[in-house]
Amino acid sequence: MEESVRSDISDSDFSVDLRYELGFGNHFSSEALSGALPQCQNNPLVCPYGLYAEQISGTAFTVPRKLNQRSWFYRIKPSVTHEPFKPRERCGHLVSEFNQATSCATPTQLRWKPMEVPERPTDFIDGLYTICGAGSSFLRHGFAIHMYNADKSMDNCAFCNADGDFLIVPQKGRLWITTECGRMQVSPGEMVVLPQGFRFSVYLPDGPSRGYIAEVFGTHFQLPDLGPIGANGLAASRDFLVPTAWFEQSLRPGYTIVQKFGGELFTANQDFSPFNVVAWHGNYVPYKYDLSKFCPFNTVLVDHSDPSINTVLTAPSEKPGVALLDFVIFPPRWLVAEHTFRPPYYHRNCMSEFMGLIYGGYEAKADGFVPGGASLHSCMTPHGPDTKTFEATVTARADTGPFRIRDTMAFMFESCLIPRVCPWALESPYLDRDYYQCWIGLRSHFSYEGKTVSNGDNREIHPEE
C-alpha cells in the first residue's frame, strides 16, 4: 500500500510524478492520508477521519469469487449527494442501442480520414461520437466504437458512463484523467480502461486531442489466455498501472455530473468534487498500459500468424474462445518468415474488424491509411493489402531476409457481432469514398506457361487455346 500525492493539487501541477500501483486484476489498497482505510472490516459504524464508506460493484454480488469485481471508497461526502438528473442536450451523436432506427447495415469496406481540430471549443464529452456498434446497453450485451475530438479541458464537471467500460486509445495529445481512485497521465502509445460507473474528468495539457474508444456492455476486459504460448508473453500483468488515492476537499459550487445512460446524457448538480475519495481498496479500478511493453509473438519459419496472436485485452462472449471484443495491436517487430508473403493475407472473417493507426504506417496499406484515421471491415467482407503493397512485395520475389517493422503502432477492435454504422459516420466529410480504389488495380498474375490445367468444367485447356 502506497500513500499518494497530497490533496488540492491543481491541474497545472498534474505533471508531477504520479505514483501507480502495479498489476492487472489485483486487489489493491491505497490511501492519501495514513490511517484512512478501516481495518478488519469494510463498513465500520464510524470510519476514520469521519469519512463515508461507499462500495462500487462492477459485477453482481453472487458471481463466482474469481470473477467478482468491486471496490470500497472512503470519501468526504457520498456520491448520492446531488440534485435529480435532467436530460442534457447535444448528445445526438452517441448511440448505445443499435437497430434500424439508429444505424445502418452495410458490408462495404469503409475508411475515414483523420479529423481536424473542432471549429468551436469542445471538451471530451461533446467531442464524443459513435462510429458503429452492435447490441444494446439495456440488454447488457454488445459494444460501441466511438471516436473523440476535443480541444478544451472539462471544466467543473465529471463524466460517468453507466452503459459500459471505456477502453480509450489516444492518438494525438495527452490526457490527464482524474478518477475516483486517483489520477493518471495517458499519452499516445498508451491505452486506458475506465470501468462502468466510474466518474472521471479529462484535462488536455497539449490542447487539441483525438483518439479512439471501444465500449463494451455487460462484461469487462481481461487478459487473454495464452494457451500453447505458455506462462509468459503478450501483455504482462505487471505492466498495468492503477492510480493511487488522491482527493479534493474544497467546495465546488455548481459542479456537474454528466451521466451516459442508454446512450443518452443526463446532468446532475452538486456542490463538491466527486474526486473526494481519501482512501480505497478493491479490484474494480481504472488502469492504463503502455503498448510499447507488449511482447509480440510471431512465426519463425513460414506463413503469416493470425492477428489474434497480438491480443492485448479481450472482453469474452458466452461462447468459449469467441470475443465480444478484442483489443489487438500491431507493434514494431521482426518479420522473418521464409518463402512467405509477409504482409497480412487477403481475408474474409466471421469477425468484424475496426482498425486505427496511432503513429507510423501500416504494413498492409501503403497509402491512404494515416495516423488518426480508421477503417471498418465487417463480417465476411473481403479485405487485405492494397495494390501497391501487394505488387511491391511479390515483385521482390526472393527472400529479403529478416526485416524489422519500425516506428508504427496500429490497432484493431475485433468483435463476433456484426456492427451497424451510424448515419453521421456514413455522411462524414472524413469518409474516404475512394477507399475501394486501393484494390481495383490488383491484376491477375495467373500463368501456366505450357502446362495443362483444368478450366473448372473438367475440360482440359492447352496454352494454344
Distance CA 199, CA 162 (A): 10
Catalytic residue among 248, 353, 363, 414: 353
How many H helices and E strands in the chain? 3, 31
407, 399, 158: which is closest to 275 by C-alpha? 158
Q: Are 288 and 169 in contact (CB under 8 A)?
A: no
Catalytic residue among 215, 363, 383, 414: 383
Q: Which amino acid is at 461?
A: I
Q: Are 158 and 252 in contact (CB under 8 A)?
A: no
DSSP symbols for 80-105: T-SPPPEE-SS-TT--SB-STTT-B-
Distance CA 316, CA 324 (A): 5
Q: Is 383 a catalytic residue?
A: yes
Cell numbers standing for residue 258: 454528466
User: Residue-wise over 347-382: b if at least 16 C-beta within 10 A, else e?
Assistant: eebebbbbbbbbebbbbbbbebbebbbbbbbbbebe
Catalytic residue among 377, 427, 449, 465: 377
Distance CA 24, CA 193 (A): 11
Catalytic residue among 83, 116, 347, 462: 347
> What are the start-end ranges of the H helices in 302-435?
387-396, 423-426
Cell numbers standing for residue 126: 461533446
Q: Is 146 a catalytic residue?
A: no
Cell numbers standing for residue 172: 494525438
Distance CA 201, CA 158 (A): 5
> CA torsion angle for 113, 118, 123, 128 (degrees, to 10)?
-40
Q: Is 462 a catalytic residue?
A: no
Catalytic residue among 3, 141, 264, 304: 304
Any idea which residues carry the catalytic annotation? 304, 347, 353, 377, 383
